[in-house]
Chain A
Amino acid sequence: MKFGILVNEGPYNHQASDSAYMFAKAALAKGHEIYRVFFYYDGVNNANKLSEPPSDDRNVIKRWSELAKEHKLDLVVCVAAALRRGIKDELLAEGFRISGLGQLIESGIQCDRQVVFGD
């Protein structure tokens, strides 16, 4: 199945990003396709490479970058939501790109399921 993923909340403050990551990983392991992961609302903070969690905790941002590298995932950060929150190109962790909301709508059109993680 072809999945689109939407992450609506920031890292650490909320479990949404962790759940989305685990869902993506499990889906890929079962041979499904992840068409795109789109980050919206405070979810855009998942792309901030300046994030530095304590060393004994998971690194949410790095984990997305690594998964993207391994599976050639398309990680897209909404430009309007990102600009509001100070997330710009120079802050992007590896594997993320900034683009418009149209990328989310296109994902909804193209995918068999659009799965939303957030409140």
Chain B
Amino acid sequence: MPGIDEPDYDSGVVKKFMYVNRKAPFGTIYALEVLEMVLISAAFEQDVHLAFVDDGVYQIKKGQDTKGIGMKSFLPTYRALEGYDIEKLYVEKESLEERGLTADDLVVPVEVIDRAAMAELIDSMDVVLSG
């Protein structure tokens, strides 16, 4: 990942940011570029949340090897999020089940919540950014 710029101002305002990940990790660039946003918002000391829904749950699936497709894997970054105090990770239960996955298949500890709870959680956020 590129270096994280230190924010050049301090607003004193802390908002609830949520990043909604809906796409599988390597077919498009969305997952990688969402991670870049996530790390910057942590540098701004915002209250960061990540949601994984639909094919987005594949972003944090264990056992992925990108050698064959010639792309750099950014999966280690998910495991490093804890070091940036980003620990609010939510996965939609239905999305996991529809793909035959469970929380044990994921590379990071997450909270599994159902679709209705996810909707409520998103509704409670100040800023929702998606990829």
Contact = CB atoms under 8 A, between A and B. Distances in A.
Interface residues of B, number: 25
Nearest to B127: A108
Interface residues of A, number: 18
Interface in B30-81: 30, 33, 36-37, 40-41, 43-44, 46
A41 B29 contact: yes
A81 B131 CA distance: 14
B107 to A, nearest CB: 24
A118 B2 contact: no
Contact of B30 (A41, A108, A109, A114): A41
Nearest to B1: A80
Given A41-B29, A80-B36, A101-B40, A108 B15 contact: yes
Interface of A: 6, 8, 40-41, 80-81, 100-102, 104-106, 108-110, 114, 116, 118
Given A6-B129, A102-B40, 15 more contacts: A8-B131, A40-B33, A41-B33, A101-B40, A104-B37, A105-B7, A105-B40, A105-B46, A106-B7, A108-B15, A108-B41, A109-B44, A109-B46, A109-B127, A118-B130
